Amino acid sequence: MGTVVLGTGSCLPERILTNEELETIVDTSAEWIRSRTGIEQRRVSGRDEQTWQLAATAARRALDAAALDAAELDLVVVGTISSHMQMPSTACFVQNEIGAVNAFAYDLNAACSGFLYGLDLADKYVRADASLKVLVVGAEALSGRLNWQDRNTCILFGDGAGAAVFGHSEEDRGIVGCNFKSDGSLWKLLYMHGAESTNPELRLADNSGPFICMEGREVFKYAVRAMEESVRGLLDRCRLTIADIDYVIPHQANIRIINNLVERLGIPQGKVFINVAKYGNTSAASIPIALDEANRQGVIARGDKVLFCTFGGGLTWGASLITW
Ligand code: ACO
């Protein structure tokens, strides 16, 4: 028995922004983006596609798949770094929009790791009280937080949302374990300022605006090493080996990060879900969107050991394992 996924859902904005279109916005080339990142296109939010709206649609789809009514939810957690408001949380907007009238709701900021940190939280709640139903969403509209003149960052990210509903099952499956780490000393490798302080005493001299700033090459090196360590640590703790893994759903940041990671781990390419070409890096939404697609395409089967790994601003990173 354990904490299982009762249903998944996702939502992507309508508008597709191709690499070729990006050539007309910033000094880059479609081929450079494709060869360095594996990204072909990304989605960009339009009117009525705020972070909370994408999140609410993904949540409704996850509830439909779980055959649950929103009123049956006890907790709504949204992993995001692109809420359209500082307060209330995106989770409160989602709670209201879907009618989760019996749930309490809050956001979780762990950047790209938001969904997996939320999965861990859901597991802890459900283990404490098997009657609880927890909705975890990863949602971002980072197109509003990019400096579109900065080719180091604006080519990488996309908008979208993914969601999963968690609950208890008496069957011999569910979340096996998680292994997370954070290192705040490395925050400067990947960060985004908030609004400028109205208190001059608290104003930051280096406030570069509310845009994503990144040392791409450093992030790349750190991401691969850190995720490998997390996966190996998790498997050791669970007394499992790489050979026990049936399928991997990694954070979709860059095809080269994914390929490097699975090569170091000795996991065959055929066991890895990849959709970064279609959506770019959707931060906290990347893993739940990939999970929803893998689930709906039937590439993960009941009883499979499914491994997730993530890395993001904070720095935050880690791995989770589910017996599906
Ligand atoms: N178009 C064209 N040329 C570019 C672009 C661009 N968009 N961006 C950089 N370049 C140039 C650079 O100026 C540099 O030129 P130079 O050699 O004349 O100085 C050259 O390309 C190489 O630049 P690098 O930064 O060394 O390129 P690299 O191969 O490292 O690729 C990238 C850059 C794609 C950002 C890579 O480092 C990366 O993916 N890092 C991980 C970042 C990431 O995914 N962050 C997301 C958040 S964390 C996460 O989700 C894992």
pLDDT tens for each residue of the chain, 324 residues long: 999 999 999 999 999 999 999 999 999 999 999 999 999 999 999 999 999 999 999 999 999 999 999 999 999 999 999 999 999 999 999 999 999 999 999 999 999 999 999 999 999 999 999 999 999 999 999 999 999 999 999 999 999 999 999 999 999 999 999 999 999 999 999 999 988 899 999 998 888 888 999 999 999 989 999 999 999 999 999 999 999 999 999 999 999 999 999 999 999 999 999 999 999 999 999 999 999 999 999 999 999 999 999 999 999 999 999 999
214 Cβ closer than 6 Å to some ligand 1 atom: yes
Domain boundary among 172, 205, 237: 172
Domain boundary among 143, 172, 201: 172
Strands 305-312 and 316-323: antiparallel
Residue 200, CA distances (Å) to 86, 177, 203, 252 in order: 20, 45, 5, 39
Residue 67 and residue 79 share a domain:
yes
Residue 115 and residue 8 share a domain:
yes
CATH number of residue 45's parent domain: 3.40.47.10
Residue 180 and residue 149 share a domain:
no
181 Cβ closer than 6 Å to some ligand 1 atom: no
Domain tally, the chain: 2
Residue 79 and residue 220 share a domain:
no
Domain interval for residue 50: 2-172
Residue 160 and residue 112 share a domain:
yes
Residue 166 and residue 65 share a domain:
yes
Whose alpha carbon is nearest atom 46 of ligand 1?
253
35 Cβ closer than 6 Å to some ligand 1 atom: no
Whose alpha carbon is nearest atom 42 of ligand 1?
216
258 Cβ closer than 6 Å to some ligand 1 atom: no
Residue 199 and residue 167 share a domain:
no
Residue 185 and residue 168 share a domain:
no
Whose alpha carbon is nearest atom 27 of ligand 1?
217
Which residues have C-beta within 8 Å of that of residue 214, sequence separation ≥ 6? 152, 153, 189, 190
Residue 61 and residue 159 share a domain:
yes
Residue 274 and residue 153 share a domain:
no
| Residue 182 phi, psi dihedral angles, 5° rounding | -140, 150
Decide: pTM greater than 0.75.
Answer: yes
Residue 216 Cα, ligand 1 centroid: separation in angstroms?
5
Residue 237 Cα, ligand 1 centroid: separation in angstroms?
35
**Which of 23, 29, 212, 219 most suits a substitution to test ligand 1, by most atoms within 8 Å of the C-beta?**
219
Residue 291 and residue 183 share a domain:
yes
Domain boundary among 138, 172, 206: 172
The single residue listed with the structure tokens 């080269």 is 256
Alpha helices in the chain (DSSP H): 19-22, 30-37, 51-66, 90-98, 114-128, 216-237, 255-265, 276-279, 286-296
Residue 289 and residue 228 share a domain:
yes
